[in-house]
Amino acid sequence: MMTLPNYSAEGRMLEAAAIAGVRAECLETDLLERIRAGDVTEANLAAKLEEWKATEGHHFFSATGASLNAEAVAAFGESRTLTAQAAYFQKARRSSDQRNG
C-alpha cells in the first residue's frame, strides 16, 4: 500500500530550515528529498542544521563558505542594503582571487 508524505510535518521542517537560514533554492529540492527519504526527521532536524552550518561551504547555507555567511545575510536577507551587497561582492571577489592565486 502506498503511503503519502506527511505534508504537515514537511511544512514545519521546511519552515524551520528557512528560519535557520537554509537557502530557498535548497528547501524544495535537496532538503525535501532528504526528509522524504527519512534522513531528516523533526527529531533530528535541529542537529542536522547545526551540523550543516558548521560544515565550511555547505550548499544549504552558502555557496561561498562560512567566512561570508554573515555578509551574505546582511546583503540578501530581510534587511538588505546596497552598501551591504557591495561589501559582500568585494569580499567574495577578494576571497576568490586569493584561492585562484
pLDDT tens readout for residues 27-53: 988 999 999 999 999 999 999 999 998
The ranges of the chain with pLDDT < 70 are 62-69, 95-101
pLDDT the model gives residue 94 = 76
Q: Are 27 and 18 within 8 A, CB to CB?
A: yes
> What span, in angstroms and rounded, lies between the C-alpha atoms of 88 and 94?
10
This prediction has a pTM of 0.61
pLDDT the model gives residue 88 = 82
70 and 55 assigned to the same domain: no
* Overall number of domains in the chain: 2
Average per-residue pLDDT for the chain: 84
Q: Are 20 and 51 within 8 A, CB to CB?
A: no
2 and 47 assigned to the same domain: yes
2 and 29 assigned to the same domain: yes
Residues contacting residue 49 through CB under 8 Å, at least 6 positions apart: 16, 17, 20, 22
Which residues form the domain of 37?
Answer: 1-61
Q: Is 2 helix (H, G, I), strand (E, B) or coil?
A: coil
> What span, in angstroms and rounded, lies between the C-alpha atoms of 32 and 20?
15
pLDDT the model gives residue 101 = 58
> What span, in angstroms and rounded, lies between the C-alpha atoms of 2 and 19?
32
99 and 82 assigned to the same domain: yes
7 and 50 assigned to the same domain: yes
pLDDT the model gives residue 97 = 65
